[in-house]
Amino acid sequence: MSVFMDLNLMFSADRSRISKLLETAAHLGFSTVAINYVFEPTAKQKQEIPVPKPINELIDQLPVVQGRSRPIRVLNRLTVVVSDPGHYRPNAPEYRRFDLLAVQPTSEKLFHAACMLYDIDVICVSVTEKLPFFFKRAPVNGAIDRGVVFEVSYAAAIRDSTMRRYTIANAASLMESCKGKNVILSSAAEKALELRGPYDISNLGLLFGLSDGDAKEAVSSTCRAALLHAETRKTASGIVYMVRSQQEAPPPPRPSEGDTPAAKRVKTT
C-alpha cells in the first residue's frame, strides 16, 4: 500500500481552518503532511523568519488516516520567496527549526543558484504568473543530481481560470526539462475544499506532462525521498569524522649473527 503525502498545507493562525485541513487530508488518505510557512523578505523593512508552532497548539487531537490505525504525521516547512541573492541565508540557525526547507526563485539567476548551490530540499515553481525565464536542463539536472525536488502545486488552478493556465503552462515547461524526475505534486491549500485525493492528483499529473508512473510517485515515493534528503541535510552538519593518523610501521628487527642464512649453513655442516 502506497504512503501518500501532501507537503504543502498553508499555515493559518485560525485553529479551526488548520484542524479542518488536517481532518480532510487524513480522510483523503494522506499519511504525512507539512504545514507551510511562507517567508517573503522585502528590502523596505527587516522581517523575522517565522517560528513554527507546536502541533498541539494548532489542533487538539490528530485525526486518524483513513484505512490506517495511526494518526496523520504533521511536519513543519519553510518556503523562502527569493527575489534577491541576500534573501537566502546559508546555514541560518532559524532554518533548522523546520523539517523541510524550500525556496521559490523569481529569476533565472536565482533559479540557477537554487539548483546548484542552495542547501535546500524543494524548489517551488510559481503557478500564479507566467515565469520570466525558461527552465534550462543544466541547472535542472544539477538539482536532480543533488537530490533536490521540484514542486508544482494545484490549489491556485482551482481558485482562478487564469492561474489554471499558468499552472499548466509552467508545469509542462518544467516536465519538458526534467523529464518527470524529482517532481512532487502538492496542494498549497488554504481551505479544506481545495484538497484533492492522491489518485485525483496523479491524474492531474498526466495533464502536466508526467507519465503514469511518475505521477503516482509525485505524491508518494518522491515525497519520501525529499524527507530523507531533509533529514540528511539537517544531520550532516553535526557529523564529525575522525581520521586516525597512520604511524609509520617500525622496521623489522635485524637478525642476529647466528640467525643469518650463512651461519645456519655453517652449523649444519
**Could you give the CA distance from residue 231 to residue 182 in angstroms, rounded to a whole number?**
17
**Could you give the CA distance from residue 28 to residue 200 in angstroms, rounded to a whole number?**
10
Among the listed residues 59, 60, 8, 15, the one whose alpha carbon sits nearest the alpha carbon of residue 32: 8
**Could you give the CA distance from residue 196 to residue 155 in angstroms, rounded to a whole number?**
9
H or E element: which one contains 45? none
Per-residue pLDDT at 244 exceeds 80: no
pTM reported for the whole predicted model: 0.84
How does pLDDT run across 139-188, given as a tens digit for each residue? Answer: 999 999 999 999 999 999 999 889 999 999 999 999 999 999 999 999 99
Residues paired with residue 10 on neighbouring β-strands, in sequence order: 36
pLDDT for the residue 235: 84
Per-residue pLDDT at 257 exceeds 80: no
Per-residue pLDDT at 252 exceeds 90: no
User: Which are the contacts of 185, defined by CB distance < 8 A and separation ≥ 6?
Assistant: 151, 152, 153, 154, 201, 202, 204, 205, 208, 215, 218, 219
pLDDT for the residue 234: 84
DSSP state of 71: B
Among the listed residues 7, 9, 121, the one whose alpha carbon sits nearest the alpha carbon of residue 58: 9
How does pLDDT run across 190-219, given as a tens digit for each residue? Answer: 999 999 999 999 999 999 999 999 999 999
Burial class (CB in 10 A: 0-12, 13-18, 19+), 24: buried
How does pLDDT run across 97-120, given as a tens digit for each residue? Answer: 999 999 999 999 999 999 999 999
**Cell numbers given for 47:** 522581517
pLDDT for the residue 160: 87
Asked whether 99 and 229 are in contact (CB, 8 A), the reply is no
Give the helix ranges, DSSP H, for 29-159: 55-58, 108-116, 137-146, 155-159
Query: Would you say how long the chain is, in residues?
Result: 269
**Could you give the CA distance from residue 95 to residue 5 in angstroms, rounded to a whole number?**
22
- Structural domains of the chain in order of their starting residue, each with its CATH number: 4-236 (3.20.20.140)
Give the helix ranges, DSSP H, for 29-89: 55-58
Could you write out the DSSP letters of every residue in 50-67?
Answer: P-PPPHHHH-SSPPBPTT
Asked whether 198 and 28 are in contact (CB, 8 A), the reply is yes
Asked whether 8 and 195 are in contact (CB, 8 A), the reply is no
**Could you give the CA distance from residue 66 to residue 205 in angstroms, rounded to a whole number?**
23
Q: Return the higher-pLDDT residue of 129 and 46.
A: 129
Per-residue pLDDT at 83 exceeds 50: yes
Percentage, residues of the chain above pLDDT 90: 69
Per-residue pLDDT at 228 exceeds 90: yes
Q: Residue 130: which pLDDT band, with cuts at 50, 70 and 90?
A: confident
**Cell numbers given for 206:** 498526466
Q: What's the rounded mean pLDDT across residues 222-229?
A: 96
